[in-house]
Amino acid sequence: MAKAKDITNNVYGLLTAIKICGKDNFGRNKWLFQCQCGNTTEAALNNVLTGTTKSCGCLKNKPYRRIDLTNNRYGRLLVVSYAETKNGKAIWHCKCDCGKEINVSYLKLSRDHTKSCGCLQYEMRRKLHLPKNPNATAAWAREVKRKTPYCIKCYSTEKLNAHHVKPYSTNPTLRNDPNNGVTLCQKCHQKFHYRYGKSTHGQDELNEFLKG
């Protein structure tokens, strides 16, 4: 058996490795880490080495510095006012050119994930006239799950779903692209969409979800 990699005192993000503290459900080493905030946490070695885990969780709760976006324009959205801070993220009240008003996070505005209240995506779908192809979508799902036959969040192999990294409602040409899919179990898939919605997410939201 190969000797376990010794990462004692190595630093990864805010975490300093202390000692091996057990194994996960797949028999991989788990380490005990000291976080710079003062807390300790356990994490799989692979998650730390790949950067999936960078803290005990305090980074996720750290508030973002709020930048005033009032009167800034993002696509069809005009920022009207600050709405609230949710999970450390500034949420802004915006008015769409079509007249509807929605609340959008700073990250989704600044990264061009949300450019309208939804009317832009609707017009794009109508313009492209892309017909639904259940067979192609089913083939896409099979290919995604064949490439990764387990949930990339919890590693379960039961009740697997194929998840679009970039939603097909805003990226219709990527609907059946295997490179735009990852495998999540049904439970994790539902949690993701409950947290991020169904049409305003992307790779950044997926990375954040996997870290949590």
The interaxial angle of helices 186-196 and 203-211, nearest 10 deg, is 120
CB atoms near residue 12 (< 10 Å): 20
66 is a domain residue: no
The string of pLDDT tens digits covering residues 160-170 is: 999 999 888 77
What pLDDT does 127 receive?
Answer: 58
Q: What three-state secondary structure class fits 48?
A: helix
206 is a domain residue: yes
The overall pTM is greater than 0.85:
no
Same domain, 28 and 42: yes
Same domain, 139 and 99: no
2 is a domain residue: no
The string of pLDDT tens digits covering residues 19-74 is: 998 887 777 788 999 998 889 999 888 888 888 888 888 776 655 456 788 999 98
203 Cβ contact partners less than 8 Å away, ≥ 6 residues apart: 165, 166
The string of pLDDT tens digits covering residues 79-95 is: 999 998 887 788 999 99
Same domain, 136 and 179: yes
DSSP 75-89: TTEEEEEEEEEETTE
Which helix (H) or strand (E) segment holds residue 185: the answer is strand 181-185
What pLDDT does 160 receive?
Answer: 95
Task: Note down the domain range covering 161.
Answer: 131-211
Same domain, 177 and 118: no
